Amino acid sequence: MPVLGIDVGGTSVKARVTGEDGAVLAQWREPTPHGDVAALAAMVRRFTERHPVDAVGLVVPGVVDERNGRCLLAVNLGWHDVPVRDVVAAELAVPLAFGQDVRAGALAEFRTGAAAGDGGTVLFVPVGTGLAGALVVRGEVLDSGGWAGELGQVLLAEGPHAGARVEEIASAAAVARRAGAPDALTVASLVRQGDPKARAVWEDCVRVLAESIAWTVAVAGCSTVVVGGGLAEAGPLLLDPLAREVAARTGVLRTPALVRAAHGDAAAVVGATLLAREVAA
């Protein structure tokens, strides 16, 4: 009983077919069709014609109302209050599960990744082109009508970056832009070489990210924080100072385990296959 998981990103669409045992049978990526949901629906239909499956899981970025199948806002895709689920489902002959990419990634890390077996509250924070988060509480991913987890959209109230959104300082894209580098991992390499500008940008990112995580930990009582996305590929260069900064801010509160995502940048597409499996059963 194979299923197809699809993760729609700002630049590319990741697709993965898995068997009933979770084994990857096929995977590929294609450029994202922007603005036109009908074009995305046609793409998904072609995928199912190429690889016959019993169900499809589709996850998209932005503010997503899973219950009603709508993407309320996805700036990078040019979507505003779009009935994505219904448009795509109309093109398919198999069941469709619909969700949001970060929450799907959280589900993947909770079920089969870095937070597997954690019975408490898990925070998943992928640090990539943008910045968002998702909470898993006793096995359930919180959505709050699509508005939960938007850490990156909070405005910084004070300090040198007052008025900026968190993701304008603490996302992988922001780190690259502020350091004048092609990507965040290049900045990480410069930090290791002792470049002062790169180090200042990196430390800014860590401080702002730690502030956001610490507040979330304090409110939700998180036992584990899973950090994913492109910036997490820097490994200890990010995770070690981030863990110290979070611990310094949480004070007498329980300090969560801070770990790197097991699924890397594939967390969302893995989550999409898990959602597909639920509707195929």
How far is residue 62's CA from residue 32's CA, in Å, rounded to a whole number? 15
Looking at the 3D structure of the chain, how many domains does it have?
A: 2
CA atoms of 218 and 103, how far apart (whole Å): 20
| CA–CA dist 94, 70 (Å, integer) | 19
User: Residue 77: its pLDDT value, please?
Assistant: 87
Residue 273 structural domain:
3-104+265-280
State how far the alpha carbon of 111 is from the alpha carbons of 163, 181, 246, 262, 275, in Å. 37, 35, 25, 11, 12
Residue-by-residue pLDDT tens, the chain, 281 positions: 899 999 998 888 999 999 999 899 999 999 998 778 999 999 999 999 999 999 999 999 999 999 999 999 987 788 999 999 999 999 999 999 999 999 999 999 999 999 998 889 999 999 988 899 999 999 999 988 888 899 998 999 988 999 999 999 999 999 999 999 999 999 999 999 999 999 999 999 999 999 999 999 999 999 999 999 999 999 999 999 999 999 999 999 999 999 999 999 899 999 999 999 999 96
Task: Determine the pLDDT at residue 166.
Answer: 96
The two three-digit tokens of residue 115, written as one number: 């937070």
Judge whether 31 lies within some domain. yes
Which SS3 state, helix, strand or coil, does residue 62 take?
coil
Q: What is the pLDDT of residue 267?
A: 96
- 87 and 146 in a single domain? The answer is no
- Whether residue 49 lies inside any domain: the answer is yes
Asked if residue 78 and residue 39 are part of one domain, the reply reads yes
**The whole model's pTM is what?**
0.92
The answer to whether position 270 is within a domain reads yes
Do 215 and 89 share a structural domain? Answer: no
Q: What is the pLDDT of residue 281?
A: 65
Q: Which residues contact 133 (CB under 8 A, 6 or more apart)?
A: 102, 123, 124, 125, 149, 150, 151, 212, 216
Distance CA 29, CA 223 (A): 34
CATH at 200: 3.30.420.40
Tell me: do 90 and 182 sit in the same domain. Answer: no
Q: Which of 96, 95, 103, 63 is nearest to 82 (CA)?
A: 63
